[in-house]
Structure 1
Amino acid sequence: MDLDLRKLRYFVAVAEELHYGRAAERLHIAQPVLSRQIRSLEDDLGAEIFDRSRRGTRLTPAGRQLLEDAVPLLASAEALLRRVTTAARDTPSLTVGFMPGITLTPATTAFAERHPGVNVRLLRTSWASQVEVLRDGRADIGVVRLPVGRQGLEVRPLFQEPRVVMLPQGHPLSGRASVTVADLAAEHLLQDPDAVPEWRDVALELRDGPRPEVPVIHQVEEKLELVASGAGICVLPLSTAGFYTRPDVVPVPVRDIGPSEVALAWPATRRSRLVHDFAEAVTETMAATEAMGGAETKGGTETMDATETMGAPGDRDGPGASR
């Protein structure tokens, strides 16, 4: 039996909406057509994938398993089409995903010296899309911030960096040289608590509940707008904070919070020489940067802490930034 990818796409829409009407609207097809296609898929599989009752549409155990497998399968099919289309072009190309605050210029320069005929494209990603673009083929390789879902990916750790809390100008803690997680216990966090487990363990809003709603945030700039307005705080990697600057948001180092981990990631099934060579270029340039920093420290210059790197909160207008 050959699976029909179109039917699988229809199934995923219904499984995610759990409502035939909304799924049909999302797919831009008539609801009766959608219902017939789902019935046809069930006939192909020899199993019921939806439990249809007066209580609504629910996934059966077979449906839950199908959803788990269908999403990566469809992403792989989409990635295949993108890669074939790219390979058909006269000029070879490599698309690299990267998170805000991460500078790839040394790596792209080193890679271009080895592959002068390759067109390197950079794709800015977000926390939500950094792995998605690898799975669906929009990017061949990505520089990601951990943790990420590693299924089907090759992940190579690169470095760690401190994280800072972003506070609105005038906040009682904004003039401090640094704070502890306990100092932030009464604050509203504008991100998933799992992203900052140290805060989650002491947060008053999680203990007292219900937790105020966190709006859907897609970009760093949106998060900073909310911080500046006094809607809450967020904890960000140091380099991301330094990438954005605005006078109404202040970064403050957090002494007892875990670092942000940066890694390379690419689909484990890829055997592309270009992907391998770019990974080597990133690793080498990152190692060179680390070595230079270490040499300076050994020469008698102490490594700057997060406050010195960005400027003391009370001495400048303070940068802001993403998760």
Structure 2
Amino acid sequence: MDLDLRKIRYFMAVARELNFGRAARELHIAQPVLSRQIRALEAELGVQLFMRDRRRTELTPAGEALYADAAPLLAGAEALRRRVGRAARGADSFTVAFMPGLIVTGAVRALTAAHPRMAVDVLRTSWADQVEVLRDGRADVSCVRLPIDQRGLKVRALFDEPRVAVLPTGHRLASKSELHLSDLAGETLLQPHAAVPEWQAMTGDTAPSEPPAALAVEEKLEHVAAERGVVILPQSAAGFYHRPDVTAIAIADIGPSRVALAWDATRRSRLISEFADLAATHLRAP
């Protein structure tokens, strides 16, 4: 049996909303059309996906299983579409992804100068997607901050830079010129703890406490300024997003932020090798 990805997308919308009317509006289709498509999917799979009555819609056990497996299926299909599109574009375009605080302008300009007819684009990433943009084809290379999941990737080290603690200006430690990680014990870390392995080792925590971690640097700093916690950032990112209501302080006993260039190990691209050499020349710690 061949699965119809369109019906799977319809199913996912209903499973998220648990309401056929809201799902139909999200999909911009009529509710009766959506209901027919879900019934057709159930018939194809030979299972019931939803329990419905006048008051509510719920997933059946089969529906819950499909919901768990369908998200990576759709993500894989979208990644395939992007990779095929990238292959079709060939050498006419090249996309460089980069993490906040990193400046890739020099390397991008050098690549553009060497290939004036090629469109060289840039893409800002976050901890959540700095590797995913390679796996799904959005970027050809990614300037990443380690650690990352390196499976299926080639990684070339570029440089290291210090990390700093970013605190609200009224914080008890804000007047210090340098601090130790232990000085921050008891503080709320407003970022994924996996991004700061030393914090995990100190506290034993594997996930942020309330408020929820914000992935974008701008959101992190809003939380810091509101005195909801602290963040640990590479020095360049803290400097790039400088603002008067927060302060950045060096940490004496924490390792640096390690910056590297990553790309899909299965790709054999002269442009990727060329850009890797340019990145090694042009990307430096601030």
Q: TM-score range by the shorter chain?
A: 0.7 to 0.9
> Partners in 2 of 1:30 and 1:270 — Cα distance?
43
> Partners in 1 of 2:242 and 2:3 — Cα distance?
51
Structure 1 stretches lacking a partner, 5+ long? 291-308, 310-323
Residue pairs, 1:159-170, within 5 angstroms:
159-170=159-170
Q: CA offset at residue 11 of structure 1? A: 4.2
Residue pairs, 1:62-101, within 5 angstroms:
64-81=68-85, 84=88, 86=89, 92-101=92-101
Amino acid at match of 2:18: H
Residues paired across the two proteins, number:
279
1:277 and 2:274 are equivalent in the alignment? yes
Residues 126-160 of structure 1: CA distance to partner in whole angstroms, max 9, x if unpaired?
A: 33343343344432222122334445544444333
Q: 1:116 to 1:182 in 2, by over 3 A?
A: same
Q: CA offset at residue 272 of structure 1? A: 3.7
Give the structure 1 partner of residue 211 of structure 2.
213
Q: CA offset at residue 48 of structure 1? A: 4.6
> Partners in 2 of 1:154 and 1:47 — Cα distance?
43
Contact 2:167 2:248 (8 Å CA) reproduced: yes
Contact 1:49 1:60 (8 Å CA) reproduced: no
Q: 1:62 to 1:3 in 2, by over 3 A?
A: closer
Q: 1:55 to 1:73 in 2, by over 3 A?
A: same
Q: Secondary structure at 1:147's aligned position in 2? A: coil
Contact 2:18 2:57 (8 Å CA) reproduced: no
> RMSD of the alignment, in Å?
3.6
Q: 1:213 to 1:249 in 2, by over 3 A?
A: closer
Residues 259-284 of structure 1: CA distance to partner in whole angstroms, max 9, x if unpaired?
A: 32322233444444323322232234
Give the structure 2 partner of residue 142 of structure 1.
142
Residues 41-61 of structure 1: CA distance to partner in whole angstroms, max 9, x if unpaired?
A: 4555x5659475889215454
% same residue: 48
Q: 1:173 to 1:77 in 2, by over 3 A?
A: same
Structure 2 stretches lacking a partner, 5+ long? none
Q: Secondary structure at 1:245's aligned position in 2? A: coil
TM-score, scaled to structure 1: 0.70
Give the structure 2 partner of residue 108 of structure 1.
108
Q: Secondary structure at 2:178's aligned position in 1? A: coil
1:264 and 2:265 are equivalent in the alignment? no
Contact 1:107 1:281 (8 Å CA) reproduced: yes
Q: 1:73 to 1:147 in 2, by over 3 A?
A: farther
